[in-house]
Structure 1
Amino acid sequence: MERHPRRWLILVVLCLSTLILVIDNNVLMVAIPALTRDLGATARDIQWITDAYILVAAGLLLTAGSLADRFGRRRVMVVGLAAFGAASLAAAYADSPAQLIAARALMGVGSALVLPSTLSILITVFDEEERRKATSAWSAAAVTGLIGGPILGGAMVTHLHWGSVFLINVPVVAVAIAAAYLLMPESRAPARRFDPLGAALSLVGMVALVWAIIELPQRGLGDPATLSGLAVAAVVLTAFVLWERRVAEPMVPLALFRNRDFTGGSLSLVLVQIGNGGLVLVITQYLQFVLGFTPTRAGLAMVPLALAVIVTNGVGAALGQRVGNRVLTTAGLGVLAGGFALMSTLRADDGFATVTATLVVFGIGAGLAQPAAIAALMGAVPARYAGVGPALNDTLQQAGAALGVAVLGSLLTGVFTGAMPGSAPEVARRSIGEALAVAERTGDQALAASARQAFTDGLAVTCSVSACAVLGAAVLAFVLIRGRGAGRTAPVEEQTPVTTS
């Protein structure tokens, strides 16, 4: 594989494009209390502000990856960035939860177009020798968003309107689009027929599956709507698999799952996403509602985690060539599970130092595991499927994220409600945000203290379940991912060169 002369400049564009997606999701984390207050968003609304994005992105990722391979990865990425920027403007000026949910859904469209394109371009311009370094840099850019998003977003929520957090996206999108046209050549896979039936089946099947996952904790398995969603997902996704196995030029190369590295890397990341659903749900609410941090201080509390990831990314890139993906992924996931276990011990009266130490452990685990798992699965993807291969992995991770938010969110709410005193008003038993609002109106300090303790109880259970999910990911990584020296996962002779212009 000939190395592209501008590959490192291209990596800058890819990192910038990924950065904007991560900034958005982490800004949203610190804005949850403000949304609860200013828009009157309920716990259900907050969940759908997150899940609308996941639902749409999960449904479109496979189609977006196929479109990128066919029509050009740069072109699809730029279209996605433009859609993401426009949706961010709409989100910034939403005046109801419904409008914000709709804007988040459109942001999911943009994300689906951008994500597989960034990884597919990375695969095509970096060879196996340099790919680990490029992946670590790409991961570090995502972590930079993890640092900058909460800090900048926290300051904006504190001093400006909450809608300003979405305006961060607009200038970054503009710079990323301009840089893409100035620095990045177009690339696409060798021509093959578009698979419209496969695209339609994947869209309908994934949307039905993710919707059913989201609704299952609230509606229950016996609810007709939930059963219908699961039935539609099962039938349509089965039809999708059968069709992709039969068609001469499938949209999705299901044979990738025969490769142990791709399967091990993908499934490990799926379980990590399920576990991360617990972190996203609990940590910022714990910092602001329980410990009373301002949005700015809550953002600063995330800095040690992000710095730990960045430093460990660099260490992992150096170690990866020596010890291999299996050792790094398994070790990192073990540390990550330990971080969740420590997080489950947090109390309602803990301070900044305790939270910081816990997040540093979490960051070390994530910094070791994620780049190694991504390197394993990307090394298994032939260049002719450089768009749809990463999209398949992203789709599985989005489904895992939806499952994590839905199930762990329901678990958190159930534990919170059960731990609240029976004498508490019904509205105060639904969520900590509503309980503290009632306590503030009535001056009931005992109710506020009970709500904080009940949420901490829910945090303990949620993070314990997340730790178990990540331990399961570690076992999968150890069993499936091949060790160092097991041979190349994607031989050069299997890779069809891309066309560039």
Structure 2
Amino acid sequence: MNRNALTLTTVLLALVTVPLTITGAAVALPGLQDDLGVGLAAAQWVVNGYNACFAGFLTFGGSLADLLGRRRMFAAGVALFCAGSLTCALAGDITLLTAARALAGVGAAATTAAGSSILAATFDGPARARAFGLLGTVLGAGLAFGPTVSGALVTAVDWRAVFAVPATLSGLVLLLCPLLPRLAGVKGRRIDWAGGTLFTAALMLLIFVLVEAPSLGFADPAVLGGLAVALGLGAAFVVVERRTADPMFDLGLVTNRPFAAFSLAAGVLMVVMVPLLVYLPSYLIAVVGLEAGEAGSWLLMLTVPSIVLPPAGAAIARRSRAALVGGAVVLSGAGAALLVTVGADSTPWQLAGPLLLIGAGVGLTTGVVDGLAVSSVRTEQAGTAAGLFNTARLATETVALAVVGTALAVLSGGRLEGAGFTAALHTVGAALGAPAAVAAVIVLLLLRGGAQRARQR
């Protein structure tokens, strides 16, 4: 195997663990709640803590890779992820498990940012396009088959196996890291410590408020105070980014209408899909009565379109970007609204409608909308745009995950089981469908405005 092929294999093997550990935690939730004897609010941090750290540290990871060196940062990220996942597999209490998941989230962020940077530095021209195409395929495969693999592991072993397998894979990657090319950092690049700290703190505090509000009470001083501080930190972040010479995010990109449209669409699609990846397995297990492996296989209807539909999405985008992106958001919103038909006696055929519609909306845009967003800005802004796009999408889905978890907890009386869970899922489905419809209209208006401005130039 030549050096480039080894580099590609190492990076892809590392990054396939990212979707595996997200879907694995979702399938493991019912088992770990029973085994560790914890309530819903505590268990939610196993998912939310990981996602929040992943979203909060992603751009930080890219900045550190530029400063400290890509291979060094990649290896550090893999090591953190491995240590966190291994600790999750061995944890005997929820506090240690939650802390380990947060550590794994930081590691996943560093691994993703540095790994993408390694591919960009190693390959150029058509070879780079093929490398990132394979990366998209691997991530899509991890997302598509993650619930099924994780369900099988839970059924065959127990919930700890869904953390042990990613730990093993990342351990193998760690052994390969010394074989990666030495890639020096970028000279003259400064890290926006102030902006990064404010963004991460605001996001983490907002997630804390959303997750803890049902148990503490929405009028509790800690909840109200935490929300006020989170908003204050967010406002300070905007001020700092506008004044910093080398900001973490170029907020001026928000005024780029096509970029804003593609970012909004990507965020809304994840708002609909990711909470279902996390909480639908629990519903299928606790209410429909499936084994974990069966629940994972049913979710293939939701995830497999992410593998098979991107080529169709790319073909549609060549004809009309608005038709692709707006139509995808509409499909996913319609699927979410159809969740009101789900019940304790649901069969795979009854779930096919909502799951396939949501999956189709996401699948048609997987990888495609990323390329559209980056290509909508000037070439010299491409790296910054990619970082802002991915961080915004991750932050949006993380907040949505916390909001949906809170809503399900409140609406079901704190017990995700029985008729209460069904009623809560119906309400959440309808609530997700409505903003998706509004977002589709906004996306189309932004793209129309962007096209008119482009013609005027």
Please classify the TM superposition score into its range, dividing by the shorter chain length.
0.7 to 0.9
1:405 aligns with 2:401: yes
Deviations 1:445-490 (A, max 9, x none): xxxxxx2x332221111111122233333233323347998899xx
Question: Structure 1 residues 476, 228: CA separation in 2 closer, same or farther (over 3 Å shift)?
Answer: same
Partner of 2:74: 77
1:138 aligns with 2:135: yes
For 2:48 and 2:159, the matched residues in 1 are separated by 19
For 2:445 and 2:4, the matched residues in 1 are separated by 34
For 2:89 and 2:390, the matched residues in 1 are separated by 27
State the TM-score, normalizing by the size of structure 2.
0.87
Deviations 1:412-438 (A, max 9, x none): 233323xxxxxxxxxxxx3135xxxxx
For 2:70 and 2:288, the matched residues in 1 are separated by 45
SS of 2:304's partner is helix
1:243 aligns with 2:209: no
Question: Structure 1 residues 472, 188: CA separation in 2 closer, same or farther (over 3 Å shift)?
Answer: farther
Do the aligned residues in 2 keep the contact of 1:268 with 1:476 (CA within 8 Å)? Answer: no
Partner of 2:159: 162
State the TM-score, normalizing by the size of structure 1.
0.80
Do the aligned residues in 1 keep the contact of 2:322 with 2:444 (CA within 8 Å)? Answer: yes
Question: Structure 1 residues 386, 122: CA separation in 2 closer, same or farther (over 3 Å shift)?
Answer: farther
Larger Rg: 1
Residue 69 of structure 1, CA deviation? 2.9
Aligned AA for 1:480? L
Residue 43 of structure 1, CA deviation? 0.9
Partner of 2:427: 461
For 2:377 and 2:90, the matched residues in 1 are separated by 41
Deviations 1:174-203 (A, max 9, x none): 344455654666365452233333333333
Partner of 2:415: 431
For 1:162 and 1:217, the matched residues in 2 are separated by 26
Aligned AA for 1:458? A
Residue 217 of structure 1, CA deviation? 4.8
Question: Structure 1 residues 195, 413: CA separation in 2 closer, same or farther (over 3 Å shift)?
Answer: closer
Partner of 1:191: 188
Partner of 2:56: 59
Do the aligned residues in 2 keep the contact of 1:66 with 1:388 (CA within 8 Å)? Answer: no
Residue 377 of structure 1, CA deviation? 2.1
Question: Structure 1 residues 7, 304: CA separation in 2 closer, same or farther (over 3 Å shift)?
Answer: farther
Deviations 1:269-297 (A, max 9, x none): 22233323541343112211122111111
Question: Structure 1 residues 197, 283: CA separation in 2 closer, same or farther (over 3 Å shift)?
Answer: closer
Partner of 2:259: 262
Matches within 5 A, 1:95-494: 95-120=92-117, 137-177=134-174, 182=179, 186=183, 188-189=185-186, 191-320=188-317, 322-380=318-376, 389-417=385-413, 430-432=414-416, 451=418, 453-481=419-447
Question: Structure 1 residues 81, 477: CA separation in 2 closer, same or farther (over 3 Å shift)?
Answer: farther
Higher mean C-alpha deviation, range 218-227 or range 125-134: 125-134
Residue 300 of structure 1, CA deviation? 1.4
For 1:9 and 1:335, the matched residues in 2 are separated by 39
Partner of 1:497: none
SS of 1:168's partner is helix
Question: Structure 1 residues 482, 132: CA separation in 2 closer, same or farther (over 3 Å shift)?
Answer: farther
Aligned AA for 1:373? V
SS of 2:219's partner is coil
For 1:251 and 1:62, the matched residues in 2 are separated by 7
Aligned AA for 1:353? W
SS of 2:341's partner is coil
Residue 129 of structure 1, CA deviation? 8.1
Do the aligned residues in 2 keep the contact of 1:331 with 1:368 (CA within 8 Å)? Answer: no
Residue 35 of structure 1, CA deviation? 1.0
Question: Structure 1 residues 392, 217: CA separation in 2 closer, same or farther (over 3 Å shift)?
Answer: farther
Do the aligned residues in 1 keep the contact of 2:306 with 2:366 (CA within 8 Å)? Answer: no
For 1:325 and 1:133, the matched residues in 2 are separated by 22
Partner of 2:89: 92
For 2:435 and 2:125, the matched residues in 1 are separated by 30
For 1:198 and 1:388, the matched residues in 2 are separated by 14
Deviations 1:46-79 (A, max 9, x none): 2111111133233323322322233334432332
Higher mean C-alpha deviation, range 60-69 or range 131-140: 131-140
Do the aligned residues in 2 keep the contact of 1:343 with 1:358 (CA within 8 Å)? Answer: yes
Residue 116 of structure 1, CA deviation? 3.2
For 2:362 and 2:388, the matched residues in 1 are separated by 21
Do the aligned residues in 2 keep the contact of 1:55 with 1:402 (CA within 8 Å)? Answer: yes
What RMSD over aligned residues (CA atoms) do the two structures have, in Å?
3.2
Going by fraction, where is helix more abundant, 1 or 2? Answer: 2
For 2:125 and 2:371, the matched residues in 1 are separated by 9
Question: Structure 1 residues 470, 16: CA separation in 2 closer, same or farther (over 3 Å shift)?
Answer: farther
SS of 2:412's partner is helix
Do the aligned residues in 2 keep the contact of 1:120 with 1:390 (CA within 8 Å)? Answer: no
For 2:115 and 2:449, the matched residues in 1 are separated by 27
Aligned AA for 1:100? L
1:19 aligns with 2:16: yes
SS of 1:350's partner is coil
Question: Structure 1 residues 413, 326: CA separation in 2 closer, same or farther (over 3 Å shift)?
Answer: same
For 2:19 and 2:131, the matched residues in 1 are separated by 18
SS of 1:252's partner is coil
Q: How many residues align?
A: 453
Partner of 2:42: 45
Question: Structure 1 residues 219, 475: CA separation in 2 closer, same or farther (over 3 Å shift)?
Answer: farther
Do the aligned residues in 2 keep the contact of 1:323 with 1:484 (CA within 8 Å)? Answer: no
Question: Structure 1 residues 126, 465: CA separation in 2 closer, same or farther (over 3 Å shift)?
Answer: farther
Identity level (%)? 32
SS of 1:326's partner is helix
Residue 121 of structure 1, CA deviation? 5.2
SS of 2:111's partner is helix
Gaps of 5+ in 2: none
Higher mean C-alpha deviation, range 88-97 or range 354-363: 354-363
Do the aligned residues in 2 keep the contact of 1:132 with 1:371 (CA within 8 Å)? Answer: no
